[in-house]
């Protein structure tokens, strides 16, 4: 985990929204946002210490060099094969998951705290050396967490390399808008995706990108998660993902840039979250593999379906799929990616993007910045 001792850092805005993160893996141990009752509400699951997050599904950690799965023992680049650790899937379905045995989530990062243009920031930087976990190139990585003044958690990723390589960075935040006191059955989710990447028994993409129409993955309209979980025992897609959603959704993007990807809301607390990203896809994961009775920060325990992750990304196994958007990064090029988790309430919305005043098509509540 590196020679430096991990430290915790906290940033907060004028409204009281605060984020606490560790230099260990960029792990976020707390994300509190103002609720409709005027009080601060915890929106992430968290263990009693950052170190415990590793054994519980990469909870709230930075993921790299490559988020999600890579099949076939590794990947080829310019005719050279790069072998990767097979750290997931067991003997039947071996693959490399989330960067390998010692991914970015297990590294101690350099951290700088500063005042940014949109709000207070934490900048995480490290140099991933050539050959780390089998990946070519010295990869310099900078990831900035910003708590914006309008109550959003913005993540900006940047990376450069001195050899051709692949990169696919994300954040594995476990969102639960009821503070983690119960599962997310009463949460509602909506995803702007008409297609998803089909996977085999090892959760590796087959190359097919079918429509969500008529499936349990049709989340284009707001959908109560309890209704999805109720289908899990008889639905092939959900059963294949251990009784819930664990799928890569291909977003219905019409142009590059920051675009709306998903909505997430808790009908009990009244908290709502909107996801925006520059990425082409998002992995929606309903914590199907979360170990039962995970010891939590406040003494309660978590379990299956206790959170939802919105892992913005390029598609899994992209280095081995020429038909998928490329994750290649060459010397001289800069990897850039941005994701925003914007918080509000069901009763109020302070966004100035008002339907007809914006041509983005997302209507009232959109934070795309195109409001006039």
Show the domains of the chain with their CATH numbers.
Answer: 8-357 (2.70.98.10)
Question: CA–CA distance from 41 to each of 34, 148, 250 (Å)?
Answer: 6, 16, 31
Helix (H, G, I), strand (E, B) or coil at 104: helix
**Residues in CB range of 293: below 8 A, 6 or more apart:** 301, 302, 303
Confidence of residue 3 (pLDDT cuts 50, 70, 90): low
Query: In this predicted model, what pLDDT tens digit does every residue of 14-31 receive, in sequence order?
Result: 999 999 999 999 999 999
Q: Are 148 and 12 within 8 A, CB to CB?
A: no
Query: In this predicted model, what pLDDT tens digit does every residue of 242-253 receive, in sequence order?
Result: 889 999 999 999
Q: What is the mean pLDDT of residues 96-115?
A: 97
Q: What is the mean pLDDT of the chain?
A: 90
249 token code pair: 């959704």
Whole-number Å distance between alpha carbons of 206 and 316:
10
Task: Just list the catalytic residues.
Answer: 172, 311
Confidence of residue 48 (pLDDT cuts 50, 70, 90): confident
pLDDT at 297: 77
Query: In this predicted model, what pLDDT tens digit does every residue of 275-311 receive, in sequence order?
Result: 999 999 999 999 998 877 777 777 778 889 999 999 9
φ, ψ of residue 250 to 5 degrees: the values are -90, 115
Residue recorded with tokens 């960029």: 26
Residue recorded with tokens 């915890």: 42
Whole-number Å distance between alpha carbons of 160 and 98:
19
Q: Mind giving me the DSSP string for 162-205?
A: SS-EE-B-EE---B-TTTTSS-STTEEEEE-EEEE--B-TTS-B
Confidence of residue 349 (pLDDT cuts 50, 70, 90): very low
Query: In this predicted model, what pLDDT tens digit does every residue of 167-212 receive, in sequence order?
Result: 999 999 999 999 888 999 999 999 999 999 999 988 899 999 999 9
């Amino acid at each position: 985990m590196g020679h430096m001792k991990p430290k915790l850092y906290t940033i907060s805005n004028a409204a009281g929204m605060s984020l606490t993160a560790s230099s260990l893996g960029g792990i976020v141990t707390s994300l509190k946002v103002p609720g409709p009752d005027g009080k601060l509400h915890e929106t992430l699951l968290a263990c009693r210490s950052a170190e415990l997050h590793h054994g519980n599904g990469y909870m709230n950690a930075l993921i790299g060099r490559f988020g999600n799965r890579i099949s076939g023992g590794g990947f080829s680049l310019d005719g050279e094969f790069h072998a990767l650790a097979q750290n997931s899937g067991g003997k039947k379905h071996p693959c490399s998951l989330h960067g390998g045995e010692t991914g970015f989530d297990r590294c101690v990062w350099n951290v700088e705290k500063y005042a940014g243009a949109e709000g207070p920031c934490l900048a995480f930087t490290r140099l991933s050396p050539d050959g780390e976990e089998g990946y070519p190139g010295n990869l310099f990585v900078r990831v900035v967490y910003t708590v914006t003044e309008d109550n959003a958690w913005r993540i900006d990723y940047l990376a450069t390399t001195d050899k051709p390589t692949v990169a696919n960075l994300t954040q594995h935040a476990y969102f639960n808008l009821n503070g983690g006191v119960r599962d997310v059955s009463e949460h509602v989710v909506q995803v702007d995706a008409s297609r998803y990447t089909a996977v085999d028994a090892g959760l590796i993409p087959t190359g097919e990108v079918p429509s969500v129409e008529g499936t349990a993955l049709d989340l284009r309209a707001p959908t109560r998660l309890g209704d999805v979980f109720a289908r899990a025992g008889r639905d092939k897609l959900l059963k294949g993902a251990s009784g819930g959603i664990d799928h890569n959704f291909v977003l219905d993007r019409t142009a590059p840039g920051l675009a709306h990807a998903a909505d997430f809301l808790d009908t009990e607390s009244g908290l709502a979250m909107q996801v925006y990203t520059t990425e082409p896809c998002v992995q929606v994961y309903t914590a199907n593999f979360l170990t039962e009775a995970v010891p939590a920060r406040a003494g309660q325990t978590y379990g299956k379906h206790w959170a939802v992750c919105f892992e913005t990304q390029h598609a899994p196994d992209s280095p081995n799929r020429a038909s998928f958007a490329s994750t290649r990064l060459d010397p001289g090029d800069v990897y850039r990616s941005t994701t925003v988790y914007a918080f509000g309430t069901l009763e109020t919305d302070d966004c100035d993007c008002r339907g007809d005043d914006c041509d983005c098509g997302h209507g009232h509540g959109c934070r795309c910045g195109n409001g006039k």
